Chains A and B, each alone.
Chain A
Amino acid sequence: MTITYSSLAEQGRPVKLAARSDRRERFEETYTAYRALMFRLARNILQDDDLAEDAAADAAVKLWEHYDCLESPTGPQAKRFVAVLTEHKALDLLRKRKRERIVSLEEAEELHAPIGDPDGVMDVNAALNKLPYEQRTAVQLALVCGLTAKQTASTMGCTVFKAEKLISRGKAALRKELEEGYHD
């Protein structure tokens, strides 16, 4: 998603020129506070510094695009939003890397990078790891970050209908996992 006023206008969002510099300053505050965390979270999933940098950078772009979802530049909600975006980008990159490796057909059997919580010690994390990554992100954006379905859809780049479906299915799957107990 480009960061141009024309693109914002295309999406039907109001273009507030006066607010531009303020938004940038607030974004810089958020990004400065959490960019190390973004890298760390991405590295936890990808187990690779270079890929983690890529994922964190992609997440930062996403953060700027959807910065209006934050209630304040820093704080629990901002930190969690940043974390969910970063994990989403890292999992997306991990998924695409797997596809890339298969396309190149080399060392296919060696691809067993850990997904999500590498320790798997918590039931919730383990249950999250079982979800398709889009469901995982959607349900966390909605329930943890407090985003509406519309905001979730915008953040994930999908339709509201699909976002609602992802949230609904994600919640159902999590309930099933957590209520039945996680045994692996």
Chain B
Amino acid sequence: MTDQELAMRLTGALDDRIDRASSAPVSRETLNRMPSADTLTTPTVQAVPVKQIRWKSAVAAVLVLGMLGGIGLAVSKLMDRATHPQTGESGNSEVAQTTAHLEMQNTEPQPDTDPTLPQLSYANRTIQITGTSGYDRLDLSPYLDNASMIKVEDDRFQFSASIYTLRDMGIFDDLAADLPSCLDRMDRSIDYMANYFAAVAPNEEIAAQTRKPVKISMDRIINYRNYDEYIGLSLGQDGFYRLSMLYAYALLNPEDLNWYAYGYVFWFYHYQDPYRFRLLYHFLSQDSDNPYIPAYHRAGGIGECTSDSKEYTPDDIKLLYDVIAWYNLIHGGDWRGSRYAPTPTKEFSNFTGDPALEGNDLCLDEAISLINYLAEQYGHDKVAAYCFETCSFEEAFGTDFATARAAWEQSLLERFGDGSEEP
């Protein structure tokens, strides 16, 4: 088939799809909700995706915006709140001086910065607030919601998010007052993760990945990208807790998703990052049909099984996953239909690995437990070598998968019993 023939067939198919789509009804309301041509063609700072942000171009864009409409009410309001977070009023210099973590930057303007641009600083980082109008008055259309942005950047760490997003997340009592500590925690988390992976990296190529800057955004989409020059993480709009998961995914950057990729990422998130924001708790509700929690408590777990991750120590978390794996081992994980039914990783919708590969029948919780077992028995570097796919299972651990799995299962039975004494 020649290129021309292929092109004709593709064109015919596309035209057919267009024709069939054209007959579907679309309401006027829907069309009105779509961005206008003016919106799309008006330069905005928001339109700079994280991967494209360049300091000079961002400043240039802000300058253009400043000329068009000024920085706006939002900045002054936020600055007031930031400067006087305890009173919410402006003009109180005493309160401003007592604000240890967030204060106006009074240094001389740097050559590349706009002296009219408001900047707030914490530690050695700068929070730059940009915007085109008062954020309290802006239309909350998703296409406009980034008109006011908070951006933090230095060589190592960059964070950008819409003021709306941060405010609407509902986790900040006072955005201006609370954001710095949150950013500081993200910063520490990234440093910890980079140091951890650098220490266990099986080769220099992977270690080099940990030295890449991390650029974080809070977009509608949850995603990770490992670019040549940096790692881009989009955390979604409902919290910061995915940071360590996505960072681990980005470093692994797996060609295919197999049990060990899922397990390693979530093991790292749950067990390793001391600065993670909260635990996943989808299985921790006290619903009557949750089969794990009674077993967890019988095994000595003290967590209160709420969404508050402060209840859990690292040992609690390890115990929880081990109990889940043990419970599935004893009962065969056979409670299909329950929301707690363990789904094998090979049945995940984004699974791309080999369904026949040993281990892909494990559910996520079991994979986490097994990864932890391997880390404790053989060492974190061995686990990293295998999960980063630099060697086979046998080369990493000196034994085959079936033997290691049997030993892990035996260790669970020895710790928690064979189930015969279960009430």
Chain A residues packing against B (C-beta within 8 Å): 1-7, 10, 24, 27-28, 31-32, 35-37, 39-41, 43-44, 49, 53-54, 56-57, 60-61, 64, 76, 79-80, 83-84, 87, 93, 96-106, 108-109, 111-112, 117, 122, 124-125, 128, 139-140, 143-144, 171, 174-175, 178-179
Contact = CB atoms under 8 A, between A and B. Distances in A.
B343 A108 contact: yes
Question: Lowest 7 CB-CB distances: which A-B pairs, in order?
Answer: A111-B349, A124-B13, A143-B7, A28-B37, A40-B21, A100-B222, A2-B48
Contacts of B33: 53
Contact of B43 (A4, A27, A97, A175): A4
Interface residues of B, number: 59
Nearest to B224: A99
A144 B34 contact: no
Interface string B13-34: 1111110111010100011011
A31 B349 CA distance: 35
A168 to B, nearest CB: 11
B222 A57 contact: no
Given A40-B24, A103-B245, 4 more contacts: A3-B41, A7-B57, A43-B24, A100-B223
Interface in B343-371: 343, 347-350, 364
A7 B265 CA distance: 36
B3 interface: yes
Given A36-B26, A124-B13, A3 B1 contact: no
A109 B48 CA distance: 35
Contact of B1 (A24, A49, A175): A175
A122 B22 CA distance: 18
B61 interface: yes
A101 B6 contact: no
B298 interface: no
Contacts of A5: 43
Given A41-B18, A60-B34, A6 B60 contact: yes
Given A37-B21, A106-B282, A96 B222 contact: yes
Given A57-B143, A99-B222, A102-B349, A2 B21 contact: no
B26 A40 contact: yes
Contacts of A4: 43, 47-48, 57, 60-61, 64
B220 interface: yes
A1 B52 contact: yes
B11 A80 contact: yes
Interface of B: 1, 3, 6-7, 9-18, 20-22, 24, 26, 30-31, 33-35, 37, 40-45, 47-49, 52, 54, 56-57, 60-61, 64, 142-143, 220-223, 236, 242, 245-246, 280, 282, 343, 347-350, 364
B24 A98 contact: no
B30 A53 contact: yes
A66 B10 CA distance: 22
A96 B57 CA distance: 28
A99 B254 CA distance: 13
A36 B348 contact: no
Contacts of B42: 3
B349 A179 contact: no
A84 B26 CA distance: 20
Contacts of B31: 35-36, 39
Nearest to B223: A96
Contacts of B35: 57, 60
B30 A39 contact: yes
A24 B13 contact: no
B141 to A, nearest CB: 10
Given A2-B57, A79-B18, A80-B14, A100 B236 contact: yes
Nearest to A52: B30
A35 B383 CA distance: 50
23 contacts: A1-B52, A2-B52, A2-B61, A6-B61, A24-B37, A35-B34, A44-B21, A49-B30, A54-B142, A57-B143, A60-B34, A64-B40, A64-B41, A80-B15, A104-B222, A105-B280, A105-B364, A106-B282, A108-B348, A108-B349, A112-B349, A124-B9, A143-B3
Contact of B24 (A32, A44, A108, A124): A44
A84 B18 CA distance: 10
Nearest to A176: B1
Nearest to B47: A2
Given A3-B47, A4-B64, A83-B18, A144 B30 contact: no
B22 A100 contact: no
B47 A41 contact: no
A96 B16 CA distance: 27
Contacts of A109: 343, 347-349
Nearest to A7: B57
A41 B17 contact: yes
Contact of B41 (A24, A43, A44): A24
A40 B27 CA distance: 11
